[in-house]
Structure 1
Amino acid sequence: MRHFLQSKRGLLVQAIGAALLAHSSGASALGLMQAYEAALKNDSVYRAAYFTNEAGKENRVLGRAGLLPSLSASYSGSKAKSDITTGGRTVKQDYISRSTSVQLRQTLVNFDALARYKQGVLQAEYSDAIFLSEAQQVAMRVVGAYIEVLFKQDQLALAKSERDTYLERMKVNDRMFEKGEGTRTDMLETRARLDVAEATVLEAEDNLAATRITLQSIVGADVNMGELDALTPAYNRPPEDTLGLEGWQRLVMESNHEVRARKLGVDISQQEVNKQRSGHYPRLDAVASYSKADSDTINTINQDSTTRSIGFQLTVPLYSGGAVSASTRQAVANREKAKADLQTEIDKAMLELNKDYDSLVSSVKKIEALIKAVDSGQLLVQATEQSIKGGVRINLDLLDAQRQLSSTRRDLAQARYTYVLSFLKLRAAAGTLSVNDVREMAGYFR
């Protein structure tokens, strides 16, 4: 498990290094991989998770400290004035008192320290799991925002194309009307569709601007129109998944970072129970000390003493007002809550997995169907144009065919993007999403 975490962290370090190189190169285009690398460097949520993990690593050292020797030293010095009265006679004494001591303590039997050590190790691993989860989430945020901008660009392009088609159709209607071959109804129908298309273009422009701002906030850089790489036509027929739903479910139980963090939470809660119960158990320490005193008391004025000692100290708790029992019951309740949270996380992960898997499988079939639908729609538009010339169809039929073609193209773009997101979501759910997966997916964007 430790090797697995180190390898994951190594990939993240490589990605951050690549981000710095990309940043220094001053490249204007923002590809998917460049956006991801920039987010690792600039995304505030990821940076917060990184430093949270750095703090969490120290729990391992803090837990271990209770099992290691502790060494302390003290020094005191004072000027004393005393009056000593004996048989009615008073003698004044002025002297300097000094005391120096060094103590070494080593725990031999300490159930509290042992529980704290185990808990510290688990807390460090918990922090790693949360960080790896956030590393996956930043990838999903970047890809999601990147694809959303592309989709909004596609919608804008389709809206403009539809508007331009209506503009051209308006010109055709005008010419035909002038020649007496068209009707005013055809002109009004096209004008109505054109007005709606103009409004759709404006709405698409606003939506694109909003999604661009979202992507900019993640990558920490300006994103200009036309700057992003588009999904290539080669991704129209993505490879089908061969692992199967059961295979993905096994990976969720084995590697999902959120599930793993909840499992560690249960173990941490168990160590908290052990720690609280240790309040009833004795503690045994080995203690060695060295002390040196000069005029330490009024009876040792002008006397120096040196003391060396080594031995054992046994501490047996007897009664603390019921605090130990109460804190133990509290820890047990929190452990049961952690178990319930674990089951909730498993159910949530499985639900999301099933949804993403179904989306992945259906997207493949949907993409294939929509490719055929686009080809058919183009043929329908061409055939309708010819039919109008032959007097078989009317202008409204062509407008409907063109609108249906635009809608089908939009649905095809959305299906392709849905497959990309489902592909990455499945790997994130399985806990296997890495820089390599983002790099592989970025290869389909040019």
Structure 2
Amino acid sequence: MTRAHGALLLALCTVSLSARAETLNGALLRAYDNSPLINSGRAGVRALDEKVPQALSGMRPRANAGAFLGVQDNRAVTRQFDIDLRDPQIRAPTKSIQSGQSVPRAANLTIEQPVFDGFKTANAARMAETGVFAGRERLRLTEQRVLLNAVSAYINVLRDTAALKLQENNVAVLTEQLRQTRERYLAGQITLTDIAQAEARLAAGKSLVGQARAALEASIGAYRQTIGDEPRKLAPGAPVDRLLPKTREDVERIAQAEHPVILAALHDADAADLDIKVIEADFMPKLSVVGNLFTQTDVAGIYNRNISASVGARLNVPLYEGGLTSSQVREAKEVAGQRRLDADVARADVIALVRANWGALQAAKTQISAAQTQIAAAERALYGVREEAKAGQRTTLDILNAQLELLNARIGLIFAQRERVVASYAVLASMGRLSTETLHLAASQYDPAVHFDRVKDLWGGITTP
């Protein structure tokens, strides 16, 4: 590697925006810990966990209590005829009025324990668990995207900083070239046309500096958005080839078995099959045991009281519901077929993603090798053109073009180095293995099963664990 190559790599690998150094793994860890997207996904999975106890509640007892309390005004009017015992023919009409107030009250307690529901609860619980597993896979996908975006943001800052340094150095070289061109003009060696060419190239170089600075500012903004902080002194970002298989076929095989998009689609298909069984349960009879305790006082009159208790079985046999359940079953079967097709689509998408990322990785390797060769040749060409120009065999435009070719070659190497690193992480993500565990980051791993185990068997309570 030439001296210029080493300077180029140094420019790519050291970005000094503050005194404290930052590594790629450190940036990935901070992105993982602080990402609102990941935290939002975790909350969504925790919400899915609650679907399991909701489904299991179908076979748990239900208790309802009721009470009545009021004020009642009682008024009784009695009309009768009193018979004179001495003369039975004599009847005297009399009327008596009785009035009073009472406080009628009643209470009842009903407990129902389902015994058989056509296996609806069991299938609904299995369906809810399958939905939880699908949610976990989608959370893994979110984590992969956040980590890959963090890699891109980190390497983009390195790339754009190095590109800006090259453009600024090019302006300095063009400024010196313009000074030398004016001296040669004063010496009568060249014409005003050469000066105009040098001035035009310098103006173009200053414009490219402005563009490079704007690109760096955009990359710094993306870095802050993804990582959560301003970039500091960034250490080199290396590819992760050690974690990748040797062949594309091995990558595809692993992706088919582990990629979260495929696994989530398969869980969705399983959940759709279980949904059919849940709906079909509505065709089956339902049996439950019902207990009832009832008491009332002063309801029909003063000082009366009634207490009753009963236990019985309730059987509900569906006969015809207007075709609603039948339509729901047909709909669920179509949805299940759609979910199986979605799984096939997911497999095809992942294979296409693997091949695109693998191809980008191989292309980046080739581009780096070609760019290094191009830089070495461009450096020799520039040296030769300058020496020939001293002898009057080359023009100022030849020198400027040679400088531009060398600049483009160096920038091409920077971009190829960026693609090399990011593409290696992209291949790892397309396998479904881009995670803090695979990268051996010192992170406290979030385990969604912890929350699931705490809530799946809860019978009550409104406080989140």
User: What corresponds to 1:319 in structure 2?
Assistant: 320
**1:272-283 alignment runs, 5 A limit:** 272-283=275-286
**Structure 1 residue 92, shift from structure 2 partner:** 6.7
Deviations 1:69-122 (A, max 9, x none): 224141423345567899989977845333342515143343321221111101
SS of equivalent residue, structure 2 residue 234:
coil
**Structure 1 residue 218, shift from structure 2 partner:** 2.3
User: What corresponds to 2:372 in structure 1?
Assistant: 371
User: What corresponds to 1:77 in structure 2?
Assistant: 68
| Counterpart check, 1:170 vs 2:161 | no
| Counterpart check, 1:231 vs 2:231 | no
User: What corresponds to 1:116 in structure 2?
Assistant: 124
User: What corresponds to 2:146 in structure 1?
Assistant: 138
Q: What is the distance in 2 between the residues matched to 1:274 and 1:387?
A: 86
Q: Does the CA-based 8 Å contact 2:265-2:339 persist in structure 1?
A: yes
Alignment identity in percent?
19
**Structure 1 residue 167, shift from structure 2 partner:** 0.9
User: What corresponds to 1:152 in structure 2?
Assistant: 160
User: Structure 1 pair 279/140, CA: closer, same or farther in 2 (3 Å)?
Assistant: same
Letter in 2 for 1:291: L
Q: Does the CA-based 8 Å contact 1:294-1:304 persist in structure 2?
A: yes
Deviations 1:186-217 (A, max 9, x none): 32221111111111111111222222222222
| Counterpart check, 1:412 vs 2:428 | no
Letter in 1 for 2:293: S
Within the candidate set 27, 30, 33, 2:25 is matched to 33
Deviations 1:32-66 (A, max 9, x none): 33333333344333332222122122222222222
Query: Structure 1-normalised TM-score?
Result: 0.81
User: Structure 1 pair 133/115, CA: closer, same or farther in 2 (3 Å)?
Assistant: same
Letter in 2 for 1:337: Q
Q: Does the CA-based 8 Å contact 1:60-1:123 persist in structure 2?
A: no
User: Structure 1 pair 84/259, CA: closer, same or farther in 2 (3 Å)?
Assistant: farther
Within the candidate set 208, 230, 246, 1:200 is matched to 208
Higher RCO by CA contacts (8 Å cutoff, separation 6 or greater): 2
User: Structure 1 pair 108/280, CA: closer, same or farther in 2 (3 Å)?
Assistant: closer
Q: Does the CA-based 8 Å contact 1:111-1:283 persist in structure 2?
A: no
Q: What is the distance in 2 between the residues matched to 1:230 and 1:297?
A: 85
Query: Structure 2-normalised TM-score?
Result: 0.78
Letter in 1 for 2:403: Q
User: What corresponds to 1:8 in structure 2?
Assistant: none
**Structure 1 residue 403, shift from structure 2 partner:** 1.0
User: What corresponds to 1:260 in structure 2?
Assistant: 263
Letter in 2 for 1:282: P
User: Structure 1 pair 83/270, CA: closer, same or farther in 2 (3 Å)?
Assistant: farther
SS of equivalent residue, structure 2 residue 105:
strand
| Counterpart check, 1:251 vs 2:259 | no
Q: Does the CA-based 8 Å contact 2:74-2:301 persist in structure 1?
A: no
User: What corresponds to 2:382 in structure 1?
Assistant: 381
User: Structure 1 pair 298/216, CA: closer, same or farther in 2 (3 Å)?
Assistant: same
User: Structure 1 pair 237/269, CA: closer, same or farther in 2 (3 Å)?
Assistant: closer
**Structure 1 residue 293, shift from structure 2 partner:** 1.9
Letter in 1 for 2:125: Y
More helix by share: 1
User: Structure 1 pair 83/108, CA: closer, same or farther in 2 (3 Å)?
Assistant: farther
Q: What is the distance in 2 between the residues matched to 1:254 and 1:84?
A: 85
User: What corresponds to 2:86 in structure 1?
Assistant: none
User: What corresponds to 1:13 in structure 2?
Assistant: none
Instruction: Give the gaps of 5 or more residues in structure 1.
Output: 1-25, 441-446
**1:37-52 alignment runs, 5 A limit:** 37-52=29-44
User: What corresponds to 1:337 in structure 2?
Assistant: 338
SS of equivalent residue, structure 1 residue 243:
coil
